[in-house]
Amino acid sequence: MNTLKLFLTLSLLVSGGMESAQACKARILLCILAICCFPLSIYSAHKITGHVTDSSQNPIPMATIRLLQPDSSFVKGTVTDNNGIFNLENIKKGNYILSVSCVGYADASVDFAMPEADFHVPPIALKGNSIALDAVTVTANAVIQKKDRLLIIPDKQQIKHAYTGYDLLYNLMIPGVSVDRRQGTVSTSKGGATLYINGRRADFREIQNLRPKDIEKIEYYDTPTDEYLGDVASINYIVKEYKTGGYVSLDGEQNIGYLKGDYNAGFKITHNQTNYMLFAGYNRREYDGVHTQDEEHFNLGDHTIDRNTATESAAYESDQQYVQFKVNNNTAKRMLTGTVSLVHNHTPHNDLNESFIYQNGSEDNRTVNIREAVNQKNLKPAISLNCGFNMKNNQRLRFILNSAYSRNEYQRNYSEQGWRYRTDVGEDLYSFSGIAVYSIKLKHNNSFGGNLQHYHNITSSTYEGSMTSSQHLWMGETISFLSYTQDIGKLFTLSVSPGVSLLNYNLNHGETQRFWTFRTNTWLQYNLNSHHQFVIGFAIGNEQADISYLNTASQAVDSLQTRRGNPYLDNPKIHDYFFNYRAQINSLGIQFNATYTKYLHNISYIYSVEDGRLVSSYQSDDSYHKLRLEGLCSYRISDNLRANTTLRYEHMNVPQHSQLKEDNFFASIDLNCFIGPFTVNAYAKTTERKLDQTTLAFVKNPASYGLSVRYNGKNWMAEAGAENPFTKHLHYREYADYGVYRYNQARTSRIYQQTGYIKLAYTFNFGKKVSKDSNYIDRSINSAILKAR
């Protein structure tokens, strides 16, 4: 009954922050899942016990115990206690291998048949071994806590019920790691995680095409050092390498409720140490746009105007195509990867028909109709080179070079009765980035590293139509820092990373703006014991202004408003103070994070009145502060049932304006249930409130929930899911008051309501099977164009 009780408790916890109708529906959904999964947790199973000693019959504490299938696939793990005794529970009848290892001893293994009763393994004596290894701790969840990272060995169920690298990472349910399997994003409490495959930097399609059974283990660095220096967080997939063979893969996802499709094909062939890959894809979205209800108040100096807006009709249509060719060559000493890609985006329709109801206090209300039509095109060819070298004496050197050209076109036609405005912009954007990382492990439990990065954008834009202008922006940032990490005794580790950033930008061949920023990431880690770890530290950094803000262009939003760029924005500084506690106790993983972040010279919206019109622009005079407290928990309820929960509190405020502050309480739950070849997943999230860092608007996001069922076969995968299946009227609400202008807005769209999807994927292997780890493509396209909306 413990499983059923846990489900009911979690359902009450998640629904506590929801509106009553949504809470009831979420509880019903979780209870149905609990009833379906409950029988899986009460199968007939027994425990294994044993005793590990050295050759003199002295007990060996903290020896790693791994229970394996005859094919060496992982089943369960634990460690011996202070008396050398171990205990593995819920073990079914069958044949197994018990593997035992410990620092300073030779490994040992025992083959045995598990009866339908408790089983005691004969005493195991380990022989001494002069080879010393890094101390590790293994838990029942195959999570190995090393001093600088978590090493996770996926179990048989997690691999069986995954089709992509994102699926497997999601199934691991690492506390503090949030995985969106469909969007292909991985984030942590500190920000987005950088993904690697065998130490080589990877991206969305590359991880999407990983074959789970080729993944041997995953490394998670929440405080990266050495070769991962410069990342917010790092996740490295360690996969098997193959010499010959190839595959053809096809996958497609189609939405239900509105038109959205994503279709991809891939081809890979491997010969010795070289892989050749070709990938292509197409996606399309079409729906009835975003509908708004907006109440606005304009204080234009000598008079005020109130305006109510209602969307009568809207339309959105976009499509994207991409193609990529990639070659990589790997040896034990170096890795080389070259990629050429082409991405094309087209948004022929992002249109609105709205009604404005004007009130100015002295005249009767008047209603006018407005129409806005937006058309955008983007074309981006790109080339990249990734090199890694393993040198002598534990030294590593890595280079990443990326370059791209983007041709961006933007057209907007706006009419409000007799008032019309037209914009036609063409942009050429050249971008380049280079990263060099060096690391060396030294002899006295210490390491040293260096990181040099440079990012460069050159953009030229021509504005034609109702207002003509030209913009030429040159922007470059160089970041350099060193890192030193030192173990202090057996319990402490100290890492210090001083550095500097130099940001330059030049607009329209005028005076160059230059900003120097000191950067650092310093932390102290304390290992209380084999299961508990504490980290305290602080970081200082900076970030670039969005290139679309740094210009002197102006765009009319409507008959009352104008949007304008600002070429004199300061360089935002970030001060971050953090405390982390992480524990892994048998099947329970816990993490607590406390973070206080100050954004100095924060870039935000500002409104003013000029010649009877409202002008919106950007300023960097204020700061933005955020306090974040969160508890995260993952629990392996049984072999067939896993849960992941989050509780979070946030306080956001702008110290210069006492009225700009907001509190947010948030809870979420994810449940994974494995039933034969099927995976049932359910999730629920409460409402969220935030003070937007850029617009300084108060935003309320609605609660959401969903359910999916996935089937995994030998080469096939089929998945069907639904999001918000019992909700018809979800609204995103937003409110802001800038003195001269305030608004209260509710947004809704078909994409926010009841939707479903169906996804199919198939892989055909030829020759010897090879790993599916090969599509690296950035499908985003940057732009410096100032847009009205």
- Whether the pLDDT of residue 13 is over 50: the answer is no
298 within 8 A of 740, measured Cβ to Cβ: yes
How does 557-575 read in b/e, with b if 16+ C-beta sit within 10 Å? bbbbbbbbbbbebebbbbe
Could you give phi then psi for residue 642, rounded to 5 degrees?
-130, 150
Lowest mean pLDDT among 5-9, 119-123, 386-390: 5-9
Sorted by sequence, the CB contacts under 8 Å of residue 468 that are 6+ apart come out as none
DSSP code, position 687: -
pLDDT at 531 > cutoff 50 = yes
Window from 18-22, 296-300, 470-474, 573-577 with minimum mean pLDDT: 18-22
Pairwise CA distance, residues 497 & 520, whole Å: 5
User: Residue 654: phi, psi to the nearest 5?
Assistant: -115, 105
For the ranges 29-38, 97-106, 716-725, which has the lowest average pLDDT?
29-38
Question: What's the pLDDT band for 537 if we cut at 50, 70, 90?
Answer: very high
Per-residue confidence (pLDDT) for residue 750, from 0 to 100 = 84
pLDDT in tens, 235-266: 898 887 777 788 888 999 999 888 999 999 98
Spacing of C-alpha 766 from chain mean position: 33
What value, to the nearest 5°, has the Cα angle with vertex 630 and ends 628 and 631? Answer: 170
Q: Which two tokens stand for residue 183?
A: 């969007």
pLDDT in tens, 281-305: 999 999 998 899 999 999 988 889 9
pLDDT at 36 (0 to 100): 45
The confidence score (pLDDT) of residue 108 equals 85
pLDDT digits 0-9 by tens, 306-346: 999 999 999 999 999 999 999 988 887 888 999 999 999 99
Q: Where are the alpha helices (DSSP H) in 724-771?
A: none
**Rounded Cα gap, residues 649 and 733, in angstroms:** 20
Residue 682 has pLDDT above 80, yes or no: yes
Which residues, in sequence order, are CB contacts of 502 under 8 Å at separation 6+? 477, 478, 479, 514, 515, 516
pLDDT exceeds 80 at position 781: no
Round to whole Å and give the CA distance between 569 and 549.
9
Q: Does the pLDDT of residue 94 top 60, yes or no?
A: yes
Res 458 pLDDT > 90: yes
| Higher per-residue pLDDT: 49 or 103 | 49
CATH code linked to domain 247-766: 2.40.170.20
Res 772: pLDDT: 46
Quick one: angle between helices 2-15 and 20-37, nearest 10?
Answer: 160
How much is the mean pLDDT over the chain?
85
Q: Which band of pLDDT confidence, cut at 50, 70 and 90, is reported for residue 774?
A: very low
Mean pLDDT along residues 395-412: 94
Reference 782, options 402, 399, 288, 397; nearest CA is 402
Q: 45-133 domain in CATH 2.60.40.10?
A: yes
What was the pLDDT predicted at 33?
A: 46
Residues in the chain: 789
- Asked if pLDDT for residue 418 goes beyond 50, the answer is yes
SS3 303: coil
List pLDDT tens digits, range 423-440: 999 999 999 999 999 999
| Separation between Cα atoms, residue 277 and residue 324, nearest integer Å | 8
pLDDT at 552 over 60: yes
Please give the model's pTM, rounded to 2 decimal places.
0.77
Q: How far is CA 341 from the centre of its chain?
A: 23
pLDDT surpasses 80 at 360? no
Is the pLDDT reported for residue 694 higher than 50? yes
Q: Which of 757, 753, 751 lies closest to 709, judged by CA? A: 757
Around Cβ 422, how many Cβ atoms within 10 Å? 14
pLDDT at 359: 82
587: confidence class by pLDDT, cuts 50, 70, 90:
confident
Return all residues near 643 (Cβ < 8 A) that are at least 6 apart.
Answer: 6, 10, 173, 634, 635, 637, 669, 670, 671, 672
CB 148 within 8 A of CB 221: yes
Average pLDDT value for residue range 684-708: 95
Span of 166-175, 464-473, 693-702, 773-782 with lowest mean pLDDT: 773-782
Residue 72: is its pLDDT beyond 80? no
Residue range 361-392, pLDDT digits in tens:
655 678 899 999 999 999 999 999 999 898 88
pLDDT value at position 56?
74
**What is d(CA 648, CA 643) in angstroms, rounded to the nearest whole number?**
17
Residue 485 tokens read as: 């990490």
CB 154 within 8 A of CB 168: yes
Domain limits, the chain: 45-133, 247-766
Question: Which pLDDT tens digit goes with each residue over 182-216?
Answer: 777 888 877 788 888 887 787 777 787 777 878 88
Between strands 755-766 and 244-256, the pairing is antiparallel
